[in-house]
Amino acid sequence: MHQAKKMTSNNRRLVGLDGIRGLAAICVAVHHTEGFVGFDAAPAAYLAVDLFFCLSGFVIGHAYEKKLIQESSLSANDFAIKRLIRLYPLYLLGLLLGVLAYAGMSLSRNQQMDPMLFATSLIASMFFMPAIGGTSLKAPNLFPFNGPSWSLFLEIVINLAYGYAARMLSSGVLAIILLASWVWLAAQTLAHGSADLIPLDGALLSGFPRVLFSFTLGILMYRYRERLSPSGIGKAAAVAVIVVATALLVFQAPAALVGIKDLIAITALFPLAVLVLYTANFDGVLRQPLLIAGEASYALYAIHVPLLGLLLGAWKAAGLGQPPAWAIFAIVLPLIVLLAIIVTRLYDEPVRKALSAGKAMKLGWRRS
């Protein structure tokens, strides 16, 4: 890889950003083992969502801003299709695995699923929409088959809004959106004492200031990256940034300070990490692990919850009882990470390639 100052092509791999995205996804998976191990090994991992939104804004700016705004070589409709092709295949797989896990859980508890609620929830979920009607389980959930899908819903909403409004989003307009969303986010976070308002139980509105602020900040950071990004970042410093950012997702502050810590992380520390890792050079032994972590990050996020349910259900069905915490961390989680890598390479990438090729052929046919 060339030196950081020469790495200006939109096609270059953002290795540091890949790495932190992958580690954040692992932290989320660890966080979601709490119901199985009896303690939360990554209690601050809910902040990974805000980091993901910031990364998304920055990377989408990197990949599409020039085409959408300066060159006008990509229409808003084509951008929307590209984003749906990127997000939907793994979302759908997570949904289908979630349906299996949901059915298995219902059978193991001798619970009958309400056919109408099940059908309406499934149909809504298939169209990337929240299931307003709830489910037959006693846990109201707008995304009943795969809880983390709430953030994917917000991701697609902000992506589509950006794509169709990109030419109107001057930096001044974005700054106004950023300020307004920060006030909303700060008020919500300080009132709750944490940014961890998970919009699963009907409070979907609570997710919007998180995605609005962090995604908008990511776009603005990309636009002003030459002024903001530090130069001459050494590998040791870049690794230290990854370690600190990961630590922010693992360790929690004292209860009275959680809201303030969350705001500082979302407003300053995560954005700073993105800017540093954007310019950092990761040639050498770290490059491949970071790339693999980034490659599997979306699959890991999209499927880890239903896979946890299915794998631990299979463990119990095999007569092994409740798996101990060490087995979940040393066997089940590494297996899920491995499955995420396999799913990415054998399912997600081929499906997206086929869908993109089909779209290109259709466009060519229309123009001929």
Residue 121: the pLDDT is 86
- Burial classification of residue 133, based on how many CB atoms lie within 10 Å of its CB (0-12 exposed, 13-18 middle, 19 or more buried): middle
Q: What is the DSSP string of 125-161?
A: HHTT---TT--SSSS--SSTT-TTHHHHHHHHHHHHH
Residue 8: the pLDDT is 43
Residue 139: the pLDDT is 42
Contact 257, 194 (CB under 8 A): no
Nearest to 182 by CA among 212, 154, 203, 220: 212
Amino acid, single-letter form, for residue 198: I
Residue 9: the pLDDT is 46
User: How remote is the C-alpha of 273 from its chain's centroid?
Assistant: 17
Residue 106: the pLDDT is 74
What Å distances lie between residue 26 and 88, 122, 221, 329, 333, CA to CA?
21, 27, 25, 11, 9
User: How remote is the C-alpha of 135 from its chain's centroid?
Assistant: 24
Residue pLDDT tens, the chain, 368 long: 344 343 444 546 789 999 999 999 999 999 999 999 999 999 999 999 999 999 999 999 999 999 999 877 899 999 999 999 999 999 999 999 999 998 887 777 666 667 787 888 899 999 999 886 554 443 457 888 999 999 999 999 999 999 999 999 999 999 999 999 999 999 999 999 999 976 544 467 889 999 999 999 999 999 999 898 887 788 889 999 999 999 999 999 999 999 999 999 999 999 999 999 998 888 888 899 999 999 999 999 999 999 999 999 888 888 888 899 999 999 999 999 999 999 999 999 999 999 998 766 565 555 54
Sign of CA dihedral 352, 354, 360, 366: negative
Residue 132: the pLDDT is 67
Contact 142, 199 (CB under 8 A): yes
Read off the tokens for 348. 């997600």
Domain definitions of the chain by residue range: 4-367
Place of tokens 């004292």: 254
What Å distances lie between residue 31 and 80, 197, 215, 290, 337, CA to CA?
31, 15, 23, 21, 14
Contact 307, 328 (CB under 8 A): no
